[in-house]
Amino acid sequence: MPVDDPGTAAPLVPERPTLPRLREAAAGCRACPLWKTGTQTVFGEGQAQAEVVLVGEQPGDREDREGRPFVGPAGRVLDEALEEAGIDRRRAYVTNAVKHFKWQARGKRRIHQKPNAEELAACRPWLDAELSVLRPEALVALGATAAQSLLGRSFRVTKQRGVPVESDLAPHVLATVHPSSILRAPDDEARREAYAAFVDDLRVVADLLAAARR
Ligand code: URA
Ligand code: SF4
């Protein structure tokens, strides 16, 4: 592939996708350079019957090692908040906008680096294929990277969080902050507030799901 070829995972997506087929195909993806830095493809996880899909940015250090999304510190915050908001974790599918871990060494630590527009675009066919199989009632973008990738570059999480937006991606779509932003809050009080606001946004989703079931 020429160095300036933008790359896309599209040709790798199976014609009649199922979650297991997608996972298997994505495991061998080399559509962008991130396969070299990541240990493995971290595909989405959850049941095909999931009613809500939550999309993060990319796997973190723990996720990269374990091969599963949201199993590290951010995942713990997410799990707790989902429970508190009344969203059944078993009916939620979690995935990421980019499926390999992008990082830079700092001493012995691997510091997360934001995926760029080319990497997001290259990986997008996997997310689109997941959504085409899952057809969730609700879609939640976690953080600015996922939100801007799914809802457009002009989307501002700070201004538009927790508010359902019109989108072809699912009947109900909204964005909120990334759970790792809660962990980065400067002190306990800020962390409590950030967490409560995150749970409030997820409650909007819980209410939409409850209404859809009636
Ligand atoms: N942060 C993400 O965006 N995704 C994960 O899977 C873990 C941390
Ligand atoms: Fe493929 Fe996505 Fe990994 Fe890039 S980040 S190699 S597009 S799975």
CB 150 within 8 A of CB 173: yes
For ligand 2, say whether the CB of 65 is within 6 Å of any of its atoms. no
Report percent pLDDT > 70 for the chain. 98
- Who contacts 131 (Cβ-Cβ below 8 Å, separation ≥6)? 53, 139, 169, 170
- The total number of residues written for the chain in this structure: 214
Q: Which amino acid is at 86?
A: G
- pLDDT, tens only, 119-160: 999 999 999 999 999 999 999 999 999 999 999 999 999 999
From the number of C-beta atoms within 10 Å of its C-beta (0-12, 13-18, 19+), residue 136 rates as buried
Best residue among 30, 40, 118, 123 to mutate for probing ligand 2, ranked by most atoms within 8 Å of CB: 123
For ligand 2, say whether the CB of 22 is within 6 Å of any of its atoms. no
For ligand 2, say whether the CB of 26 is within 6 Å of any of its atoms. yes
Tens of pLDDT, residue by residue, the chain (214 residues): 555 567 999 999 999 999 999 999 999 999 999 999 999 999 999 999 999 999 999 999 999 999 999 999 999 999 999 999 999 999 999 999 999 999 999 999 999 999 999 999 999 999 999 999 999 999 999 999 999 999 999 999 999 999 999 999 999 999 999 999 999 999 999 999 999 999 999 999 999 999 999 9
- Tell me the pairing of strands 52-56 and 138-142: parallel
Q: Tell me the C-alpha distance between 83 and 81, whole Å.
A: 5
CB 139 within 8 A of CB 53: yes
What is residue 6's predicted lDDT score, i.e. its pLDDT?
73
Q: What is the CATH number of domain 10-213?
A: 3.40.470.10
Q: Which amino acid is at 41?
A: T
- Who contacts 214 (Cβ-Cβ below 8 Å, separation ≥6)? none
- Cα 98 to averaged position of ligand 2 atoms, centre (Å): 6
For ligand 2, say whether the CB of 53 is within 6 Å of any of its atoms. no
**Quick count: other Cβ atoms within 10 Å of Cβ 212?**
12
- Cα 2 to averaged position of ligand 1 atoms, centre (Å): 30
**Measured CA angle at 164 (ends 179, 49), to 5 deg:** 70
- What is the number of the ligand closest to the CA of 63? 1
Instruction: Please state the φ and ψ torsions of residue 143, each to the nearest 5 degrees.
Output: 90, 165
For ligand 2, say whether the CB of 121 is within 6 Å of any of its atoms. no
Per the listing, tokens 């060494």 go with 105
